């Protein structure tokens, strides 16, 4: 029996993984594995494609600009998160990165930056935020990478809202009030909405409270920063209706 080295690196790949599957590496991935991590032919890498679980793959070819891995055996089954979206208003760069990373770690299926009346930033780098989601999945052992959508106006999102998706509206104006998340689980998909640093405008708050699919929730007695609120809201939802129960 061949004794293989254990994998020290975990990598998300866009190429499908599976028994005996060869996985070509991009130039950036080859540089990371062979230039930075100093892996060589015969070393093992844990790989996942977001659909087919995690696989132990052996380095078959190692070069400065390219390389090939070969999947040997499955090391973890595919684990998809609940059908939960996180909607948030972008804030300062590092804190926006934090929200995306934590949402990926905590089990969001889709992450949607939204522009509200008081949103501080009118532009985002969708590709950079998607890379942060990938990195978070690689580091936390997840087998799924959530999509990070491009920035969309909250008004247009609400106008085209899916009929079957419920919305957990975290209203900072309700801090201190006892507004809890309904624990009735009918299998509906959900979304969580977190506001910007300046909060929601009066017009947005009135609109949201009038929507039949919106459920207003308080996140405790104190007003939380936007990045803290995102983590608190996802924790509340996961423990009440998600896969932490």
Cα 152 to Cα 112: distance, rounded to the nearest angstrom: 8
Cα 44 to Cα 19: distance, rounded to the nearest angstrom: 15
Q: What is the pLDDT along the chain (245 residues), one digit of tens a residue?
A: 455 667 889 999 999 999 999 999 999 999 999 999 999 999 999 999 999 999 999 999 999 899 999 999 999 999 999 999 999 999 988 999 999 999 999 999 999 999 999 997 778 999 999 999 999 999 999 999 999 999 999 999 999 999 999 999 999 888 767 667 877 788 899 999 999 988 999 999 999 999 999 999 999 899 899 999 999 999 999 999 999 98
Give the pTM.
Answer: 0.92
Of all residues in the chain, what percent are helix, strand and coil, respectively (each to 5)?
30, 25, 45
Q: How far is CA 201 from CA 121, 174, 195, 219, in A?
A: 16, 14, 10, 18
Provide the CB-side half-sphere exposure for 24 (13 A, CA): 4
Here the tokens at position 210 are 């009038």
């Amino acid at each position: 029996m061949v004794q293989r080295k254990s994998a020290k690196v975990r990598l998300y790949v866009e190429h499908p993984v599976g028994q005996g599957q060869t996985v070509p590496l991009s130039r950036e991935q080859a540089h990371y594995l062979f230039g930075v991590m100093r892996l060589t032919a015969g070393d093992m890498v844990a790989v996942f494609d977001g659909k087919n679980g995690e696989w132990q793959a052996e380095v078959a070819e190692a070069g400065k600009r390219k390389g090939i891995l070969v999947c040997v055996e499955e090391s973890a089954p595919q684990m998809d998160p609940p059908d939960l979206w996180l909607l948030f208003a972008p804030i300062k760069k590092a804190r926006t990165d934090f929200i995306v990373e934590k949402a990926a770690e905590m089990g969001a299926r889709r992450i949607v930056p939204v522009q509200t009346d008081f949103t501080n930033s009118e532009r985002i780098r969708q590709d950079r935020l998607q890379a942060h989601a990938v990195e978070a999945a690689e580091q936390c052992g997840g087998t799924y990478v959530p999509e990070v959508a491009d920035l969309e106006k909250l008004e247009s999102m609400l106008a085209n809202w899916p009929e079957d998706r419920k919305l957990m509206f975290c209203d900072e104006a309700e801090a201190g009030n006892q507004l809890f998340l309904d624990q009735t689980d009918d299998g509906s998909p959900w979304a969580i909405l977190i506001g910007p640093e300046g909060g929601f405008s009066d017009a947005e708050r009135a609109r949201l409270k009038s929507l039949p699919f919106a459920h207003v929730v308080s996140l405790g007695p104190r007003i939380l920063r936007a990045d803290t609120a995102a983590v608190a809201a996802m924790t509340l939802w996961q423990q009440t209706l998600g896969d932490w129960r």
